[in-house]
Chains A and B, each alone.
Chain A
Amino acid sequence: DQQVKQNSPSLSVQEGRISILNCDYTNSMFDYFLWYKKYPAEGPTFLISISSIKDKNEDGRFTVFLNKSAKHLSLHIVPSQPGDSAVYFCAASEGGYSTLTFGKGTMLLVSP
């Protein structure tokens, strides 16, 4: 049973516009959520995270929103840039421990 779901395999956005990547989870014990970015031929790199005690976290162009009642989080990238083109993975953990459960990823393509 997939506990972290990214239902959009891909997303295409024009440069300068907003990119919104979505993630749903089923395990109510998850209390920490992360987004990772992955370029081809590289390992995933940490992008931004949010604790379940918050509903929003911002870091520059990147904002993550958490809706606990809906078990849904989203990553907003504003403005989108061609260098943002990558696969984005949503991940979740519970209880302050390190083990992460990943979604299948969403490939973002930002065109000039």
Chain B
Amino acid sequence: EAQVTQNPRYLITVTGKKLTVTCSQNMNHEYMSWYRQDPGLGLRQIYYSMNVEVTDKGDVPEGYKVSRKEKRNFPLILESPSPNQTSLYFCASSPAQGRGSNEQFFGPGTRLTVL
């Protein structure tokens, strides 16, 4: 089954404790992206990657890091989480160009709470 998986689905942590949210897709997509969803603000892009070893900042990259060492994985790293990073996070993927390139597949979401 074609899918984007994220782990963990729920996480409660404390300020300053480094964490990683994993994202994996099995569709051989070049493009992967991370979004956060906050009430009244919709979906905002954090980082994206057009292919392996190619990453770029989205609209709200501060406080986050990503890496793209393999095509299928795109982890989101919070080196020193703060309460304002409490949010619902989504990973998404799509072909980079051509047919279907705009129709991103989303993962189920990770709800993060930073105390």
Contacts and interface: CB of A to CB of B under 8 A. Distances in A.
Interface of A: 6, 9, 32, 34, 36, 41-46, 49, 89, 93, 96-105
A9 B39 CA distance: 10
Interface band, chain B: 20 to 34
A76 to B, nearest CB: 20
B96 A98 contact: yes
Contacts of A46: 103-105
B74 interface: no
B97 A96 contact: yes
Given A43-B90, A103-B42, A49 B102 contact: yes
Contacts of B107: 43
**Binding site of A, secondary structure by majority: helix, strand, loop or mixed?**
loop
A34 B102 contact: yes
B95 interface: yes
Given A34-B103, A98-B94, A43 B4 contact: yes
B108 A42 contact: yes
B4 A99 contact: no
B109 A98 contact: no
A57 to B, nearest CB: 13
A10 to B, nearest CB: 12
